[in-house]
Each structure stands twice: as C-alpha cells, then as structure tokens.
Copies of this chain bind each other. A is one copy, B any other.
Amino acid sequence: MIRVGVAGASGYMGAELVRLLVRHPHVELTDVTSERLAGEPLAKVYPHLRGLTSLTLQGLDAERLAAEAQVVFLALPHMESQRAVPVLRRRGAKVIDLSADYRLHDPNDYTVWYQTSHDDQGNLAEAVYGLPELHRKSLAGASLVASTGCYAAGAILAMAPLFKNGLARLEGVVVDGKSGVTGAGAQGRNVDPMYLFTEANENIQAYGLATHRHTAEMEQELGALAGAPLRVQFTPHLVPLNRGLFTTASVPLAASMSTGEVLDVYREFYAGEPFVRVLDEGQRPTTRSVVGSNYCDLTVVVDRRTNRAVCVSAIDNLGKGGSANGVQNLNIVCGFSEHAGLEAPPVYP
C-alpha cells in the first residue's frame, strides 16, 4: 500500500481520481485538497461517494501533502501545479500532474501556447509525458509525470501508428475533437453560462478555433514519432453529453494503402496494450462503449479518393483522457499491475 494524495479534489478530474483511488487495491488515500471547499467532507461535496470515504477536504499545502503522501496527484489549473511541484519533489513525493504545466518539453512552447513563462524549468526537464502507450519505459522510472491532455490523448492514440511507421505525410493533418461537457473546459464546477444545462443541451458548437492548447501536445508527440516537426490543424467542439471524447483525424497518406493494411499496422503497434482496443474493419468506436473506463477504442478507414486515412478514436475524457490514465501512470510508476484500480468495465448504456 502506498499513501496517495489528490490536490484539487473538488473538480471533476479530482473527483474521478478519488472515485478510482478509494477502491484501488494498493492505495491508501490520505489527503484531498480544495481551496474552495476546504473543511467540507468529501462525501458531502460529492454525494456519490457517501459511505465510501471519510476524508475531509483541506487547503492546498504542498508541505503537508508531501508529508502525508508518497505520490501526489495534481488536478489543478495550469500555473498552480508549477507552484506545488518544486515543494513536493524537494520533500521526496512523486508527482502525477494532470495539469498542462509539465507536458511541453520546450519552455518556449509553453510561453507560446499559455502566454506566460514557465517558472519551474528545472523540473520540467525531468518530467515524462504521461501517455503509457508511448512512454511506458520512461514512466517506469519517473518521479514527475505530466499526464496527457484529453484531446491530445484521443488524437495521439488515433494517429501514432501512422507517424511511427512513416506512413503519413507531415502536412495537411486535420483533427476534429468533440468532447462532453465534463472535459471541454468546465473545470471543476465552474459556472460559465456556456456550461449551463439550458445552453449546452441540444447544442453543438466549436470553440478555441485555431488556438486550443492541446494542439501543441499533439504536435510534440506526433512529431517525435515522425522524427520531424509537423503541424496539426485542430478544432475542438462541445457536444451535449457528460463524458466522452471522440476524435476524427484526417491524415494524408505518404503512399497508397488499403484499410486492411493500415489496420494491420495499428494492431501491431497496440499489441499487448491493456487499454487500447483496435476495432476490426467495419466496426466503429463509440464513446458510449468506454464511459467510466480507461479504454481507448479506435479504428482507421482509408479514403482512397483523397488518399487520406480517417482515424477515429473514442475515450472517456475523464478516463483515458484524464484521471484513469493518471491511475495507469501511477501503476507504472509504482510497479503495480496496470489494471489495478481500473478493473471496472465501462458502464453501458
């Protein structure tokens, strides 16, 4: 058993971490924080947890967290993680950060996309990008994990085999993401009118046109796989459901290939992955099939008329796009079975 803390437990990402960790066979949850709700019992704030935890939310104090926990999850807004990480690491705690603060290796990229300088470049240099399917070996020895962004997870997993195998052209990649409302910006229980039921329900809209920050993660990770820089034209959308993130990526192929040939490449790339399910030709992923879980369901179809691969993936934005993926990172960092705490099948329908 290891002692684990969650900073930012009152947001949806944090609440999902708690939901998974209270049943994790190797974890004792010892400390949960919320600036806004410090002093409140967690089970009062999140009534689904009634009877499942007796923890009370505390203020965010990195010293205390490091004393009470061996591993600390940070489910904080970006910029706030940068303040906690130096303290936590100095005190010997390992960190799994669900914010964006340590995802971009180049501090200049951080400045470009987050419009502020990075204040903890020393730790940034040691952070491992927390997508197990790409960085399992590095994660095994990591003490600072930058868990992937939700749109980035869906997009990178959808396209990685193409770039890793040199099958894609580097120009003309277009990615369209659709997210449920728990993920697309409604951080915690933020109350922007856009996220009111009456406004989000029966509605579709694009947002962050040409500016969404997860674009930088896609370019970093796919570029590394390709061995050359590339650009992604990415558009996120808000759709009326709670959980679910669907990615449609249109990738120009370097040469003519059949759908079956591309699928073979995918199956080989993801062979043995515990949480990626490559669908057979003719089957289609749906977000419904992964809700509540860490699975990513995906497939590819070649559009021969345009010689593009249409890569589609479905994840739960709080699952493989967030907290469950963070727990998988924890399992790798700590040497647990990757399934530990993630055994529950998706909830369907």
Contact = CB atoms under 8 A, between A and B. Distances in A.
Contacts of A284: 205-207, 209
Contacts of A47: 279, 283, 286, 289, 297
B244 A349 contact: no
A240 B241 contact: yes
B203 A241 contact: yes
A18 to B, nearest CB: 9
Interface string A152-195: 00000000000000000000101010101110001001011101
Contact of A244 (B12, B191, B203, B344): B203
Interface residues of A, number: 86
Nearest to A178: B204
B197 A189 contact: no
Given A344-B344, A348-B15, A303 B202 contact: no
Copies of this chain, tallied across the complex:
4
A201 B201 contact: yes
A203 B292 contact: no
B182 A189 contact: no
A312 interface: yes
Given A178-B237, A196-B186, A50 B246 contact: no
A209 to B, nearest CB: 4
Given A231-B306, A248-B235, A186 B204 contact: no
Nearest to A348: B48
A343 interface: yes
A346 interface: yes
Contacts of A285: 205
A82 B200 CA distance: 34
A203 B277 contact: no
A308 to B, nearest CB: 5
Nearest to A236: B248
A308 B174 CA distance: 10
Nearest to A284: B205
A328 interface: no
Interface of A: 12, 15, 19, 22-23, 46-52, 172, 174, 176, 178, 180-182, 186, 189, 191-193, 195-207, 209-210, 231-233, 235, 237, 239-244, 246, 248, 250, 252, 277, 279, 283-293, 295, 297, 301-306, 308, 310, 312, 314, 343-349
14 contacts: A176-B248, A180-B202, A182-B349, A197-B240, A201-B241, A202-B242, A204-B246, A204-B286, A206-B310, A209-B284, A210-B303, A235-B310, A239-B240, A242-B349
Given A15-B348, A209-B284, A231-B305, 6 more contacts: A197-B199, A204-B287, A206-B246, A209-B301, A210-B303, A240-B241
